[in-house]
Amino acid sequence: MTTRQKTIEPQKSVFPKVVTTLWLLFGGGFVAFILYVYAVNANFLNLFGELPNLRTLENPKSELASELYSADNKLLGKYFRENRSPVDYEDLPENLIQALTATEDIRFEDHSGIDAEAMARVGFSLLTGQNKGGGSTLTQQVAKNLFNTRSDELNNGLLNDVPGLRMLILKTKEWIMAIKLERNYTKREIMTMYLNTVDFGSNAFGIKVAAKTFFNKAPQDLKLEESAVLVGLLKAPTYYSPKFNPENSLRRRNVVLSQMVKYDFLEEEVYNQLKDKEIKLDYRVENQNIGLAPYFRTEASKFLLEWCRENGYDLYADGLKIYTTIDSRMQEYAEQAMEKHMEAQQKLFFDHWKNRNPWTDRTGKEIKGFAEQAIKRTPRYQKLYERFDGNEDSINYYLNKKIPMTIFTWNGEKQVEMSPMDSLKYYKHFLQTGFMAMEPQTGHIKAWVGGINYKHFKYDHVKQGARQPGSTFKPFLYTAAIENGYYPCYEVIDTKVCIPLPDGNMWCPNNSDNKFSGQKYTLRKALAESVNSISAFLVNKLGAETLVKTAKRMGISTPLDPNPSLALGVSDVTLYDMVGAYGTFVNGGTWVEPNYITRIEDKHGNVLKVFAPKTVEALSEETAYMMVHMLKAAAEPGGTAYYGLRHRNGLKNEIGGKTGTTQNYSDAWFMGITPDLVCGTWVGGEDRSIHFRSIALGQGNKLAMPIYGAFMQKVYSDPSLDVSKEPFPKPLAPLSVELDCARYNSGAMPIDSAQQDEFLQLPTEVDLDAEI
């Protein structure tokens, strides 16, 4: 029997197949990945969208806030969409760098933009479902922040909208940009870029703004635990906000500190001392409602936006440095003087109108339907009108429905429940104000207060608003008189003057006390005591057109009605123009346009523009000095400003001034001049129908002048300002007339009383009750 023998073949090794398979899987995959990365970098067939070009990489740009500086180099405010101001690496505290490195990217100094170990950790997390942390390096985050890699502009490729591919493409772009950043910049530069671009919440972009917002400090002054709080914010700015979620912030801060212990940046003993320490904030979000000179900053932005448009800059993103004429010390004194005075006057006003509405007509009767008409001009009414297609029942329901709101009071903001209609009535009770101080020789505006509270009352009463100036307009009339041969000691009788009007009526202004003394007044005394009859005499002699031309030459830009009543200030003017015009008197007859920007620099400190004001030789030096001499009489015994300035405020130096009060006390003014400063103050209601009912409360020397007096008192008390108390400088050439009226005999100068008498026997007049 034969047997079949089994042939045993030698076993073949499977190792080469495994190697081949692994090579195909990993090697081929690696090659495919490399090709994919190159394709993304080149945007092959427009599948992936563009990457920032090399020039953009060499000059990365993030939005930087433009900064507005005072003349004494204090930051007044910023203009921004994202509130970001850069800081240099040398200004970053070591504890901040260590906290950030330990928490966000411990291998930052070792990798080249992509952390392989962190990427492997992410891969493991995806496979196991265990969260072991993110894989983004600080450099990748810089790429995302600087180049906006996730914007639609850079992700408009054909594959970007394919589900699952968009995020892969985004991350790939960030890897590529991170590597390029590492090749072009040092680690210090990248660290600085990161801290200058990252979002800390509360509209704080970058470490400089974040340190200011949360702790009111510069970055270099941050304590260790404060740096840890800010680094902790980066994970989730709202959830870990020390302002809005303090418990979460405290836990996150301690995580950051523990990471510093883990990587030997911090000793365990120090950590144990800090972990239970309370977070102490000095929280203040920068915005246009707070800080010095908010009305000025808004007005300046109008000019700056126009300049930027004309010169190719973005005010809100290019990090411009704008230098102004405002003196932060004077601005602070002006705001303090305003607040103290207006708070007291507002209390008087509330008491004065207790249980009554202050909007009244010329007869003192309440204006019916005033609030109902006023609310129709508000944005709230317009929105309701559109929402309900003009249905008044529905509109009125919501206008009278109480809702929670925050209202302004002089004791701070108050939370109340109030209807929009009641809110409007409440705010209409408030007196408003404007104040401006200017250096007459340069036109530099040193202080600008546009209202009582910018957050709640946005309307600017320096340049935006125009009101009747009353007797503060009279110096332009007296200037015209001086130019036409009159002089300070010229005498005029205080008697009624009636001037025919084109419509056949007569204009016969009264004095403020409705009396005429029949006494002789020098022009200087008449201006000091603001005698209306003397102004009527002058405007009749000179003509209203002459007055208009004089005022326009001195910088008044608003329309002026060439009517005799213009002599008493019936045409609206701005405080801005009035201060500029009065500066002409002090500046030897040269009008200098009020100005507030001196230069603009780019973010690197290169000067882009230096500004010079416009000037006009408006008056002769002699005329200007004679007007200064006449205005000084207001602060001498018998003048309307004497008691307030000399006794209440203790001002002993030479001061010129003019008070003004308009009809029904709707507007109270004071204009003050010294050799170094010209100031103007206006006080009144938002509407002309809102005012005090008595001259004792509503006149210019009671309602407006105290702000000027308190301001000057503070200015003179500050030796760092070096504001002169010297007399006004005299012209170099001798004067052609004598200014000491006491040296004239009563008959030495001819009195034009005969010409005045002809006006006493005129037809029946219409008493227009002109301004005081």
What DSSP string describes 716-749? Answer: HT-TTT----SPPPPPSSPPSS---GGGS-TTTS
pLDDT in tens, 432-486: 999 999 999 999 999 999 999 999 999 999 999 999 999 999 999 999 999 999 9
What is the distance of C-alpha 636 from the center of its chain? 38
With b for 16 or more beta-carbon neighbours within 10 A and e for fewer, the 17-26 pattern comes to eeeeeeeeee
Which two structure tokens, joined as six digits, stand for 123?
């891969």
Looking at every residue in the chain, the average pLDDT score rounds to 88
- Residue range 163-168: average pLDDT? 69
User: Is residue 611 packed enough to be buried (19+ CB in 10 Å), middle (13-18) or exposed (0-12)?
Assistant: middle
Which two structure tokens, joined as six digits, stand for 142?
């810089």
CA-to-CA dists, residue 503 to 516, 567, 613, 748, angstroms? 26, 19, 43, 40
Check pLDDT > 50 for residue 768: no
User: Is residue 580 packed enough to be buried (19+ CB in 10 Å), middle (13-18) or exposed (0-12)?
Assistant: buried
Residue closest to 563 by CA, chosen among 540, 581, 534: 540
- Residue range 417-442: average pLDDT? 97
Check pLDDT > 90 for residue 572: yes
Check pLDDT > 80 for residue 165: no
pLDDT for the residue numbered 144: 81
Return d(Cα 670, Cα 657) in angstroms, integer: 7
pLDDT in tens, 96-105: 999 999 999 9
Q: Which residue has the tokens 């010129």?
A: 656
Lowest-confidence pick of 34-43, 342-351, 476-485, 676-685: 34-43
Percentage of the chain surpassing pLDDT 90?
73
- Residue range 672-697: average pLDDT? 96
pLDDT in tens, 392-404: 999 999 999 999 9
Check pLDDT > 60 for residue 10: no
Check pLDDT > 50 for residue 331: yes
Return d(Cα 56, Cα 62) in angstroms, integer: 11
- Residue range 322-351: average pLDDT? 98
Which two structure tokens, joined as six digits, stand for 18?
């495994």
Residue closest to 578 by CA, chosen among 452, 485, 664, 700: 700
Return d(Cα 117, Cα 125) in angstroms, integer: 12
β-sheet bridge partners, residue 610: 599
- Residue range 209-227: average pLDDT? 96
Which two structure tokens, joined as six digits, stand for 58?
């060499």
pLDDT in tens, 16-65: 555 455 445 555 565 666 676 666 666 666 666 666 665 666 666 678 99
SS (H, E, C) 602-650: CCCCCEEEECCCCEEECCCHHHHHHHHHHHHHHHCCCCCCHHHHHHHCC
pLDDT for the residue numbered 173: 76
Nearest-Å Rg of the Cα atoms of the chain is 37
Residue closest to 691 by CA, chosen among 453, 510, 464, 430: 430
Residue closest to 619 by CA, chosen among 650, 591, 660, 642: 591
Do 704 and 670 meet the contact criterion of CB atoms below 8 Å apart?
A: yes
Task: Say how many C-beta atoms besides its own lie within 10 A of residue 406's C-beta.
Answer: 10
With b for 16 or more beta-carbon neighbours within 10 A and e for fewer, the 189-199 pattern comes to ebbbbbbbbbb
Do 444 and 438 meet the contact criterion of CB atoms below 8 Å apart?
A: yes
pLDDT for the residue numbered 614: 96
pLDDT for the residue numbered 166: 67
Residue closest to 374 by CA, chosen among 352, 394, 350, 357: 357
DSSP string over 72-115: TS-EEEEE-SS-B----GGGS-HHHHHHHHHHH-TTTTTSSSS-
pLDDT in tens, 702-749: 999 999 999 999 999 999 999 999 999 999 899 999 898 876 544 434
Return d(Cα 554, Cα 617) in angstroms, integer: 9
Please give the model's pTM, rounded to 2 decimal places: 0.83
Instruction: Determine the residue type at 61.
Output: K
445 — phi, psi (to 5°)? -80, 125
Strand segments, DSSP code E, in 294-430 are 321-324, 403-407, 414-418
Q: To 10 degrees, the CA torsion angle through 479, 481, 487, 488?
A: -60
Return d(Cα 459, Cα 449) in angstroms, integer: 11
User: Is residue 462 packed enough to be buried (19+ CB in 10 Å), middle (13-18) or exposed (0-12)?
Assistant: buried
Percentage of the chain surpassing pLDDT 70?
84
User: Is residue 332 packed enough to be buried (19+ CB in 10 Å), middle (13-18) or exposed (0-12)?
Assistant: middle
End-to-end CA distance of the chain: 149
Check pLDDT > 70 for residue 238: yes
Which two structure tokens, joined as six digits, stand for 51?
């990457």
Q: Left, alpha or beta for 664 (phi > 0: left; psi -120 to 50: alpha)?
A: left
Check pLDDT > 90 for residue 387: yes
Check pLDDT > 60 for residue 9: no
422 — phi, psi (to 5°)? -65, -35
Return d(Cα 656, Cα 649) in angstroms, integer: 15
- Residue range 276-303: average pLDDT? 93
Return d(Cα 333, Cα 331) in angstroms, integer: 5
pLDDT for the residue numbered 116: 73
Which two structure tokens, joined as six digits, stand for 143?
């790429």
Return d(Cα 742, Cα 522) in angstroms, integer: 10
Query: In which element (H, E) is residue 342 found?
Result: helix 328-352
Check pLDDT > 70 for residue 556: yes
SS (H, E, C) 278-300: CCCCCCCCCCCCCCCCHHHHHHH
Return d(Cα 64, Cα 61) in angstroms, integer: 9
DSSP 449: E
Return d(Cα 138, Cα 121) in angstroms, integer: 16
Check pLDDT > 80 for residue 754: no
Q: Which residues fall within 8 angstroms of residue 733, CB to CB, at 6 or more apart?
A: 621, 622
CA-to-CA dists, residue 509 to 497, 550, 596, angstroms? 7, 22, 39
Return d(Cα 707, Cα 648) in angstroms, integer: 12
Instruction: Determine the residue type at 391.
Output: N
Q: Left, alpha or beta for 667 (phi > 0: left; psi -120 to 50: alpha)?
A: beta
